[in-house]
Amino acid sequence: MFHFFNCAILTFGPHAVYYSATPLSSMTLWERSSSAFSLSFQIEDLLKALIGFIDVAGLYFALTQVTHWNISQNHKFQAVGLDGPLLILFFID
């Protein structure tokens, strides 16, 4: 029984102390929910933009920098054409 209470205190104790020391404890349920929703929406948009940028940078690298593999420009553009619909599907929720 001692082991159970010891584990429970070590598991939930730091979170309870942290929660009571932050402004979250003084916020209402509506304020906490709306701030969490807003933050998750902003992070989602940021990650979508970051992944889109990485995808476009990869396409740029594939079209301009990869010359030593003897890939013709025609085949490169075909590969970009196959990736285009994936970009469109990615940005449409």
Q: What is the pLDDT of residues 15-37, one digit of tens each?
A: 888 888 887 777 787 888 888 89
pLDDT in tens, 64-88: 776 666 666 666 666 566 555 555 5
Domain ranges of the chain: 2-91
Output the pLDDT for position 84.
Answer: 55
Output the pLDDT for position 89.
Answer: 47
Considering only residues 81 and 93, tell me which one the structure prediction assigns the higher pLDDT.
Answer: 81
Spatial distance between the Cα atoms of 12 and 27, rounded to a whole number of angstroms: 20
| Rounded average pLDDT over 39-68 | 83
